[in-house]
Chain A
Amino acid sequence: MTKPAMILIVEDDVWTAEQHIRTLEAAGFKASYVTSALEAMEQIDTHPPRLIVLDFLLTGQNAFTLLHELRSHTDLAGIPIILCTNSADALAEEDVAVYGVRRVLDKAAMQPDDLVAAVKKALL
């Protein structure tokens, strides 16, 4: 399920994660997913991704746990993050930028192209 990949999707809804992967792979990216912050850290430890697409409310520890963990490791702190969440209206980009979050996308409103555009911009 979690092969080494360029983009890591951390999303506890498998069908949403699969949809992100379809979108990103259609745009030429490689992506894989995990469903929890804990799995994400294990995956990141073994195969650091170029970018992380992160849901905010995860089963178990939420996104902030993972963001804090990433910031505490100098070799991981620079990984760009895109928050992709149904709680986007409660998150200001300027508040989460300190965690390396480059963009907050609202899952309820975004188009597939929005995810691709955000990833491309963050990887520039």
Chain B
Amino acid sequence: MEGQKQAAFNGGSLSGDLPLIVTAAHELKAPLSLVRQLALGLEAKTVSAAEQDRLLRQIILVSERALRLTTDLTRSSRLEDGLFELEPLNPVQICEEVAHELAPLYTARGREIRVASRHRPLLVVANRDLLRRIILNFGDNALHYADDRPVELKAGARMGGRTVRIGVRDRGPSIPNNVWKKVETHLGTGAQPLHTRPQSSGLGLLVAGQFALAMNGKLGANRHRDGTTFYVDLGASTQLSLL
């Protein structure tokens, strides 16, 4: 499986048809297009000063979103180097960091992101940067498909404490059966165009899956009647939590 994924990032097929460069281009086109439209709005000089400030803020936030993806792609290409350390981490703390980082984007979009679980969790064995990027990816994806209800980040023990699951729950349109089957079959093994989730080519999911695999973890998803939870399962630390 890992070999297939690496092959995909070396120019092979992600979803059977699309090479990586096409998928990446598709994924980046939407934010770049939006930045351009917002900049054209500024150029028109017909907007108020307050509206100008708002447009500038939107340009910054959309640019940051696009940059996160490009950074993830760069990071994923360097996974083979193995230049990352696994250490015991508090998953709730990571969730709170991610929620804090995404809060300006969520607020600007009139949405809310919050950490649902605040009790002391088991520590997870992970690389801080890779785990942050996985959750950022889930959180960024959830923003576009959640309705007015908050997106929740949650961490909890699984399998009698051997695994820690960190999930991002959005509430919005449900994924239809046919698309869900593709997600179930290919989650983490290839980018899947989710036609009910048009801003996602599945590339972010693929990259997040590679990050999870590099930490001996795996991605998964639960479909709910009113939304989806994307999660990563990682090994729990046997070290006693001192937090």
When distances are taken between beta carbons in the complex, the residues of chain A under 8 Å from B36 are 108
A15 and B40 contacting across the interface, CB-CB below 8 Å: no
B34 and A59 contacting across the interface, CB-CB below 8 Å: no
A73 to B240, CA, bound (A): 66
How many of chain A's residues have a CB under 8 angstroms from any CB in B? Answer: 21
CB nearest neighbor in B for A63: B198
CB nearest neighbor in B for A61: B196
Interface string of A5-18 (1 = CB under 8 A from B): 00000001111100
Among A36, A57, A61, max chain B CB count under 10 A is at A57
Query: CB of A111 within 8 A of chain B?
Result: yes
Given contacts A15-B58, A86-B33, contact A59 B40 (CB under 8 A): no
When distances are taken between beta carbons in the complex, the residues of chain B under 8 Å from A22 are 41, 44, 46-47, 51
Query: CB of A2 within 8 A of chain B?
Result: no
Query: CB of A78 within 8 A of chain B?
Result: no
A59 and B145 contacting across the interface, CB-CB below 8 Å: yes
CB nearest neighbor in B for A36: B173
When distances are taken between beta carbons in the complex, the residues of chain A under 8 Å from B199 are 12-13, 57
Interface string of B169-210 (1 = CB under 8 A from A): 000110000000000000000000001111100000000000
Output the least CB separation between B53 and chain A (Å).
14
* Count of inter-chain pairs, beta carbons less than 8 A: 59
Output the least CB separation between B22 and chain A (Å).
12
A38 to B33, CA, bound (A): 25
Output the least CB separation between B225 and chain A (Å).
14
Which residues of A98-124 have CB atoms within 8 Å of chain B's CB atoms? 107-108, 111-112
The majority secondary structure among interface residues of chain A is: loop
B34 and A13 contacting across the interface, CB-CB below 8 Å: yes
B37 and A57 contacting across the interface, CB-CB below 8 Å: no
A112 to B47, CA, bound (A): 14
Among A60, A62, A107, max chain B CB count under 10 A is at A60
Query: CB of A44 within 8 A of chain B?
Result: no
A59 and B144 contacting across the interface, CB-CB below 8 Å: yes
B197 and A59 contacting across the interface, CB-CB below 8 Å: yes
Which residues of A32-82 have CB atoms within 8 Å of chain B's CB atoms? 36, 57-62
Which residues of B202-234 have CB atoms within 8 Å of chain A's CB atoms? none
Output the least CB separation between B239 and chain A (Å).
42
A61 to B196, CA, bound (A): 6
Query: CB of B20 within 8 A of chain A?
Result: no
Query: CB of A26 within 8 A of chain B?
Result: yes
Given contacts A19-B37, A108-B33, contact A58 B198 (CB under 8 A): yes
B47 and A62 contacting across the interface, CB-CB below 8 Å: no
A107 to B36, CA, bound (A): 9
Interface string of B108-128 (1 = CB under 8 A from A): 011000000000000000000
Taking Cβ atoms with an 8 Å cutoff, the residues of A that contact B are: 12-16, 19, 22-23, 26, 36, 57-62, 86, 107-108, 111-112
Can you name 13 A-B pairs with beta carbons within 8 Å? A12-B199, A14-B110, A15-B34, A15-B38, A22-B51, A59-B172, A59-B196, A59-B197, A86-B29, A86-B30, A108-B29, A112-B40, A112-B41
